[in-house]
Amino acid sequence: MALARKRYAIALGAGAVALAVAGGPALADSPKMGGVLNFVVGSKIPTYDGHRESTFGMIHPIRPFYSLLIRVNPENPQSTTDYLCDLCEGALPSPTDDGKTYTFAIRKDVKFHDGTPLTAHDIKATYDKIVFPAEGIISSRRPQYSMVDSVEVTDDYTVVFNLKYPSGAFIPALASPFNFVFAKKDLEREDPEGKDPLYGMKWHQTNINGTGAFTFVQHQPGAFVEGARYDGYHHEGKPYLDGFKAISAPKTAVRLNAIRGGEAAIEFRGFAPKQRDDLVGALGDGITVQESDWNCQLLISINHKKPPFDDVRVRQALMHAVDRWSASESLSKIAIVKTVAGIVFPSHGLAIDNDTLKTYVGFWPDIDKARDEARRLLKEAGAENLTFDLHNRTVDMPYRILGTWLIGEWKKIGVNVTQAGVATSEWYAKHRAGSHDLGIDANCQSVINPVADVGKYTSRSSNPANYSHYEDAELDSMHDQLLRSGDPAEQATIMRAFEKRVLNDEARYGMTLWWNKINPHRSYVKGWKIAPSHYLNQHLDQVWIDEG
């Protein structure tokens, strides 16, 4: 164990130095061409359609076949504001018309894998499907584009997005890794049997034709997906790899052993601290560890429909009882959580500073004082002998670990809680139905887009993802102002007021800790940089293999 930690420290230290000094492992050496990257994926592929799906089980094996209009800078994925053109040309366009019009020049040298040249019409057809889907077509991130009024093509290589109002959330939303650009002709395909008028819109659920760095070779369901280098790729000199093989391995132990045994080089979602230590302990310098804050957070949903949780004093008391600051140190040793922060991703410009956070309910640094206050509030609310169920998923990492931790924290103020673990489908169903007391809820996003991400805390009537089941017109109004504000200073002011109401004044939702992404991988994998989301930076065009 001690040896493993020491080796891990060396590996992580070396990685950190490389990242800080040389700008990352990829820049430390010249990329080499060739090789096949084998990686393991812990989830399944529901369909190939990125617009429809929300799982890394689809993104990791399928994203390399597609391009986006714009993407997070692959060399700087930790930045929350650095976006680059992928299928557009030059620098990102500045908005015109008081921030309501974005005009993109589309590259002229791009072809789909079937040889069809890409034009602005393909971009429009793609975004029309995402923003204005036909009835019967699922577009999972459609609400993020509420500011988009229309998408138009002014010539074959120019596409214009007209917004209803200026919004700082637009560009990050555009960079979503799920926004695969499809060919218009594929989206307009007709059903050979003449039965389904939406045949073309559904074609990508079972077929692949993109402009990404790799072409589709085969998919053996439940086993692997294979891709080969696309020689006509539009980013010159890339990709470096000859191909990739995404191996399906739902069990953590299998994924871990695949890397340990050399059958796979990397797993892009992340491992737990102990698994990282085991790999480093076993392989030493053969493993490089990259770590990052993760745009994922487990929340405490407090069902406002159920007394006594409709009483703000009870909600505040329950939040006061939880010692997040010390948990950051201890839980990060056993679970994929680490950073204490508010509702905005910790390193984003809109995130709260720690001094202010420490004045909020649930974040007081003096935990004894906080728990005294919790007991006082419970007594005042007549809820001293409170007992309830904590609705949770039967998923260990990190759901059950955090559930167990929270129950221990609440016990310290005399509240008795039973953990009610259920399968994922029931976890969603009960949360949606509002039949739980308190629950462990999740807010995991891809591109860091706080203005869109905090939509989670708006009223239930307009936001089905609100599992605390409250109505709060003031929060809705503030969120609407946030969406319409293009000025960062104004956004920050509104965000602070919004966050204070959610966490402190009304204790609508409880925070736990932000996730910590840990990616131990074979050291011969170069060029891949950890992003703050397991959905990001998965196009693999910058990855290369250095096997001497």
Partner 1 sequence: MAVTTGAYVSEEVFERPPLQTRLWAIVRAQPLGIAGAFIVLVMVLSALFAPFIAPYDPELNDFGAMLVPPGASHLLGTDEFGRDIFSRLVWGARTAMLVGFSCALLGSTIGLLIGVASAYFGGKFDILLQRVIDIFIAFPSIILALTIVTVLGTGTQNVIIAITIPLIPNCARVVRSSALAIREIPYVDAARALGFGHARIVLRHMAPNVMAPYLIMMTTFLGQAILAEAGLSFLGLGVQEPIPAWGLMLQGGAQEYAESAPWVPIFPGVAISLAVFGFNLFGDALRDLLDPKLRQQ
Residue numbers at the binding site for partner 1 (CB under 8 A): 1, 4, 253, 272, 274-275, 277-278, 326-327, 329-331, 333-334, 394, 396, 400-401, 403-405, 407-409, 411, 418-423, 426
Compare residues 277 and 499 and give the one whose CB is closer to partner 1.
277
CB of 364 to partner 1, least distance (A): 18
Compare residues 150 and 404 and give the one whose CB is closer to partner 1.
404
Closest CA to 31 of 70, 74, 68, 73: 74
Compare residues 181 and 335 and give the one whose CB is closer to partner 1.
335
CB of 239 to partner 1, least distance (A): 36
Q: What is the number of other CB atoms lying within 10 angstroms of the CB of residue 104? A: 21
| Intra-chain end-to-end CA distance of the chain, in Å | 30
Compare residues 4 and 228 and give the one whose CB is closer to partner 1.
4
**What separation in angstroms does the CA of 226 have from each of 62, 266, 534?**
10, 15, 20
CB of 258 to partner 1, least distance (A): 17
126: left (phi over 0), alpha (psi -120 to 50) or beta: alpha
CB of 295 to partner 1, least distance (A): 25
Spatial neighbors of 366 by CB under 8 A, at least 6 apart, are none
Tokens found for residue 300? 């405490």
Tokens found for residue 297? 């957070």
Compare residues 154 and 418 and give the one whose CB is closer to partner 1.
418
Residue in the structure block whose two tokens are 């935990």: 367
CB of 1 to partner 1, least distance (A): 4
CB of 470 to partner 1, least distance (A): 26
CB of 392 to partner 1, least distance (A): 8
Compare residues 254 and 407 and give the one whose CB is closer to partner 1.
407
Spatial neighbors of 49 by CB under 8 A, at least 6 apart, are 180, 202, 204, 205
397 residue type, one letter: M
CB of 276 to partner 1, least distance (A): 11
Compare residues 81 and 332 and give the one whose CB is closer to partner 1.
332
Compare residues 108 and 411 and give the one whose CB is closer to partner 1.
411
Tokens found for residue 231? 């020689």
CB of 213 to partner 1, least distance (A): 36
**What separation in angstroms does the CA of 496 have from each of 268, 365, 428, 522?**
33, 20, 30, 42
Compare residues 516 and 542 and give the one whose CB is closer to partner 1.
516
**What span, in angstroms and rounded, lies between the C-alpha atoms of 457 and 434?**
15
**What span, in angstroms and rounded, lies between the C-alpha atoms of 143 and 340?**
28
CB of 485 to partner 1, least distance (A): 41
CB of 395 to partner 1, least distance (A): 8
- Asked if residues 415 and 406 have their Cβ atoms less than 8 Å apart, the reply is no
Helix and strand numbers (H, E) in the chain are: 18, 18
70-73 long-range contacts (CB < 8 A, ≥24 apart) are 70/171, 70/174, 70/175, 71/175, 71/177, 71/539, 72/175, 72/177, 72/447, 72/531, 72/536, 72/537
CB of 394 to partner 1, least distance (A): 4
Compare residues 409 and 541 and give the one whose CB is closer to partner 1.
409
Please tell me the total number of residues recorded for the chain in this structure: 548
**What span, in angstroms and rounded, lies between the C-alpha atoms of 505 and 511?**
14
Closest CA to 434 of 285, 264, 310: 310
The DSSP secondary-structure symbol of 520 reads: E
**What span, in angstroms and rounded, lies between the C-alpha atoms of 60 and 69?**
18
Compare residues 236 and 329 and give the one whose CB is closer to partner 1.
329
Q: Bridge-partner residues for 419, per DSSP?
A: 390
Compare residues 274 and 376 and give the one whose CB is closer to partner 1.
274
